[in-house]
């Protein structure tokens, strides 16, 4: 039977604003239904029972961000569907000559520590190992990780009324506010929130695909680069998923570039912090150092997981050295848009990418 539960929020909260923020306020509780799904079909059926839209139904796996945002009253689901029982069918790691398949319910820690991933897909292992704390990595699922939401203060604090991602049409307080950590690529006049994840940047660089199950019983594979939407004039719609869609797996195609790959993450402190800039790089080089294939993902300064096709095109067919790496980095950040406090980020991003490319070239591949 479903459980009827309560989540805490601040008294006076209306339409994403709190009248009592900053003074403690009263505490009220929001009701929601907690269901437990034994398999994917049951999960999809439960999701379809709730009217679609506005995040009214959410799948619960690790809960490492969802529960946090519910406590902050940023997310207000009416139904949670616990899908941890799906790990039996969607919690496996398989690597063969065709590539790497990761079940959506694989825990971050399990993928980061998997010997085959560490050897053949180091960019994935490193992106997961550098994310969050050991406790969070042992709880968080891969699907939940790629769907994590921005850390923008104006999104997470409901006392701020100006957040188009929370309430479309309310404005973006970050444009003229505290925006040091926010995005410079893929932004719009309506939102400059940054995508905070690491693992997704490795997936986008490696041309991964994501398997999605729909409430009508159908399944489809989608290029991972197409999963997240740019903010444009609808920043509250973050992905191309339909209401009730359930991510079930990821597939990374095999290729000679996956072993010569790495994830470089620049942050204010050495551990448990989100990136100011990051680069996911995978290379296939000739013996004399000419680039046959370059795969580049950029994080920390982007509105969504970001693949730099411009930088890849600059490098292909050329000798990889500091000069060509710098030219590629210039191309990668040519479309940057800055706002005051984050004006340093394009230069930081360029330096991060150059360093990642040269370090990847220097890797010893057995």
The answer to whether position 64 is within a domain reads yes
269 Cβ contact partners less than 8 Å away, ≥ 6 residues apart: none
Sheet holding 261-266, edge to edge: 261-266, 277-285, 291-299, 306-307
What pLDDT does 28 receive? 65
Site of tokens 């005051």: 340
Q: Is the pLDDT of residue 345 over 70?
A: yes
Token pair of 208 as six digits: 């991964």
CA–CA separation, 178 vs 226, rounded Å? Answer: 29
Measuring CA to CA, which residue among 198, 203, 172 is closest to residue 187? 172
Per the structure, the complete domain to which residue 16 belongs is given by 3-86
Question: What is the tens place of the pLDDT at every residue in 181-207?
Answer: 999 999 999 999 999 999 999 999 999
The verdict on residue 67 lying in a domain is yes
* Distance (Å, whole) CA 202 – CA 121: 9
Question: How many domains, the chain?
Answer: 1
Answer whether residue 49 is part of any domain.
Answer: yes
Taking all residues of the chain, what is their mean pLDDT, rounded to a whole number?
92
Interval 285-309 mean pLDDT: 97
31 found inside a domain: yes
Task: pLDDT band for 7, please (50, 70, 90 cuts).
Answer: low
> Does 2 or 18 have the greater pLDDT score?
2
Q: Is pLDDT of 153 > 70?
A: yes
The CA distances from residue 141 to 44, 62, 242, in Å, are 18, 6, 20
8-state DSSP, 220: E
Residues 327-340 have pLDDT tens digits of 999 999 999 999 99
In a domain, 357, yes or no: no
CATH code of the domain in which 80 resides: 3.30.43.10
Does residue 14 lie within any of the structural domains? yes
* Strand-pair category, 209-213 with 246-253: antiparallel
Cα distances (Å, whole numbers) of residue 133 to 109, 118, 138, 273, 342? 10, 19, 9, 9, 26
CB-CB contact of 281 with 123 (8 Å) = yes
Of 268, 282, 286, nearest to 344 (Cα)?
Answer: 268
Q: What is the pLDDT of residues 219-241, one digit of tens each?
A: 999 999 999 999 999 999 999 99
Share of the chain above pLDDT 90, in %: 87
Kindly report the pTM of this predicted structure. 0.92
Say if 53 falls within a structural domain.
Answer: yes
In a domain, 42, yes or no: yes
């Amino acid at each position: 039977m479903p459980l009827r539960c309560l989540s805490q929020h601040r008294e006076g909260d209306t339409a994403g604003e709190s009248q009592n923020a900053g003074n403690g306020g009263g505490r009220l509780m929001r009701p929601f239904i907690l269901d437990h799904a034994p398999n994917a079909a049951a999960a999809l059926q439960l999701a379809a029972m709730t009217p679609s839209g506005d995040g009214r139904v959410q799948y619960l796996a690790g809960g490492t961000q969802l529960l946090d945002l519910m406590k902050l009253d940023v997310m207000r689901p009416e139904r949670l569907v616990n899908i941890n029982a799906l790990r039996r069918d969607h919690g496996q790691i398989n690597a063969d000559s065709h590539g790497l398949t990761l079940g959506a319910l694989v825990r971050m820690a399990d993928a980061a520590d998997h010997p085959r991933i560490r050897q053949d897909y180091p960019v994935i292992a490193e992106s997961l190992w550098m994310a969050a704390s050991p406790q969070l990595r042992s709880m968080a699922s891969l699907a939940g990780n790629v769907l994590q939401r921005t850390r923008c203060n104006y999104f997470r604090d409901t006392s701020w009324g100006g957040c188009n991602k929370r309430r479309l049409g309310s404005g973006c307080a970050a444009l003229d506010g505290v925006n040091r950590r926010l995005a410079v690529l893929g932004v719009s006049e309506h939102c400059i929130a940054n995508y905070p994840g690491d693992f997704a940047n490795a997936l986008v660089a490696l041309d991964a695909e994501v398997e999605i199950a729909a409430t009508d019983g159908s399944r489809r594979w989608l290029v991972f680069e197409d999963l997240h939407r740019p903010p444009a004039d609808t920043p509250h719609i973050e992905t191309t998923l339909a209401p009730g869609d359930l991510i079930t797996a990821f597939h990374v195609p095999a290729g000679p570039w996956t072993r010569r790959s790495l994830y470089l993450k620049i942050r204010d402190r050495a551990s448990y912090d989100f990136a100011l800039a990051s680069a996911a790089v995978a290379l296939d080089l000739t013996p004399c150092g000419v680039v046959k294939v370059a795969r580049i993902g950029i994080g920390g300064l982007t509105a969504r997981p970001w693949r730099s096709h411009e930088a890849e095109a600059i490098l292909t067919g050329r000798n990889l050295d500091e000069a060509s790496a710098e030219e590629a980095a210039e191309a990668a950040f040519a479309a940057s848009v800055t706002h005051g406090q984050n004006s340093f980020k394009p230069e930081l991003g360029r330096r991060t990418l150059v360093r990642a490319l040269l370090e990847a070239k220097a890797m010893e591949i057995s």
